[in-house]
């Protein structure tokens, strides 16, 4: 008959990796709180910092906030071949981003992720998912335009240009961009006008909301053991790289 195990304290349960995550999220939470207060003091009017994404009232803010706990990987929809993946599909670290092409904070975060992919080639894969906010008029159309570009294997180039030229978002620009990237414009137009990917975009948004995303960018860093850490906002490169280095043991 087995003897009852000796009760363990919280600190007894902290192995090296769990200790890292505790320290990482605590430090970022402190920084995020400061960033939140500073940013909030600069906002005018009745914009909401956090709200219900499904009601369209959430706001794409907080440039350095991380939830204090890891969540089960099962809470985040599994990565499939239907996802847009940048980098090695077998990379040990996965970053899933829920984003909105019209969101200014997503535009800020995009170069950060591009830098991550450049510096961690083969070590990180970047999964982009749609989370169009209802108060952004071009969020849904731009997501649809990018998906139609993806039909011709140009999703990422198209997405890069949408963020780089965010002030130009609109139907005429979407069509122009399709031509600039060498797409079959007629095929792209048929896809775009038919709202072919509306259900996919909605499904991704609902999946993100179910996983706890309330604004954009909303991301998850997932390690090889399946620990998922939610990130709210445009976290700086230094914080992202520090987490990746620790996970990779470098």
Identify the three-state secondary structure at position 161: helix
Rg of the Cα atoms in the chain: 19
Residues 2-34: tens digit of each pLDDT: 333 444 443 344 455 555 555 555 555 444 433
Residues 83-112: tens digit of each pLDDT: 999 999 999 999 999 999 999 999 999 999
| pLDDT at 38 (0 to 100) | 35
Give how far Cα 224 sits from Cα of 28, 161, 164, 221, 247, Å: 21, 31, 32, 10, 8
Q: CA 228 to CA 219: how far, in whole Å? A: 10
Q: CA 233 to CA 60: how far, in whole Å? A: 7
In this prediction, residues 72-88 reach a mean pLDDT of: 88
For tokens 């170069």, what's the residue? Answer: 111
Q: How confident is the model at residue 147 (pLDDT cuts 50, 70, 90)?
A: very high
Q: CA 161 to CA 101: how far, in whole Å? A: 10
Residues 64, 32 contacting (CB under 8 angstroms): yes
Q: How confident is the model at residue 115 (pLDDT cuts 50, 70, 90)?
A: very high
Q: How confident is the model at residue 250 (pLDDT cuts 50, 70, 90)?
A: confident
The residue that leads in pLDDT, 63 or 100, is 100
The residue that leads in pLDDT, 155 or 3, is 155
Return the percentage of the chain with pLDDT > 90, whole number: 61
The residue that leads in pLDDT, 52 or 104, is 104
| pLDDT at 229 (0 to 100) | 80
| pLDDT at 73 (0 to 100) | 59
Q: How confident is the model at residue 146 (pLDDT cuts 50, 70, 90)?
A: very high
Whether the per-residue pLDDT at 47 is higher than 60: the answer is no
In this prediction, residues 194-223 reach a mean pLDDT of: 95
Give how far Cα 127 sits from Cα of 36, 91, 120, 148, 199, Å: 26, 12, 15, 17, 18
Domains by residue range for the chain, with CATH: 11-248 (3.40.30.10)
Partners of 126 in beta bridges? 86, 95
CA torsion, ordered 38, 218, 198, 189, to nearest 10 deg: 70
The residue that leads in pLDDT, 75 or 220, is 220
Whether the per-residue pLDDT at 129 is higher than 50: the answer is yes
How many C-beta atoms lie closer than 10 Å to residue 6's C-beta? 6
Ranking 50-59, 99-108, 147-156 by mean pLDDT, the lowest is 50-59
Among 82, 74, 88, 80, residue whose Cα is nearest residue 125: 88
What value does the mean pLDDT of the chain take?
80
Give how far Cα 17 sits from Cα of 13, 43, 75, 139, 235, Å: 11, 37, 21, 38, 21
| pLDDT at 49 (0 to 100) | 28
Ranking 23-27, 218-222, 225-229, 237-241 by mean pLDDT, the lowest is 23-27
For tokens 């399709």, what's the residue? Answer: 178
């Amino acid at each position: 008959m087995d003897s009852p195990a000796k009760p363990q304290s919280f600190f007894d349960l902290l192995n090296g990796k769990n200790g890292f995550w505790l320290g990482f999220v605590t430090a970022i939470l402190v920084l995020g709180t400061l960033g939140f207060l500073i940013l909030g003091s600069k906002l005018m009017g009745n914009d909401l910092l956090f709200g219900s994404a499904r009601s369209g009232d959430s706001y794409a803010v907080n440039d350095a906030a991380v939830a204090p706990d890891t969540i089960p990987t099962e809470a985040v929809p599994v990565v499939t071949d239907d996802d847009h993946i940048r980098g090695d599909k077998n990379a040990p670290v996965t970053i899933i981003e829920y984003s909105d092409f019209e969101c200014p904070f997503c535009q800020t975060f995009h170069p950060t992720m591009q830098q991550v992919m450049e510096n961690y080639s083969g070590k990180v894969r970047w999964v982009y998912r749609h989370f169009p906010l209802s108060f952004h008029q071009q969020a849904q159309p731009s997501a649809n335009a990018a998906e139609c570009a993806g039909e011709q294997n140009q999703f990422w180039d198209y997405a890069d240009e949408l963020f780089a030229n965010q002030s130009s978002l609109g139907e005429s620009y979407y069509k122009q961009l399709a031509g600039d990237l060498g797409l079959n414009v007629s095929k792209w137009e048929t896809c775009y006008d038919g709202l072919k990917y509306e259900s996919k975009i909605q499904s991704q948004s609902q999946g993100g909301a179910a996983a706890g995303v309330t604004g954009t960018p909303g991301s998850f860093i997932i390690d090889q053991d399946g620990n998922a850490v939610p990130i709210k906002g445009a976290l700086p490169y230094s914080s992202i790289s520090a987490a990746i280095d620790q996970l990779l043991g470098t």
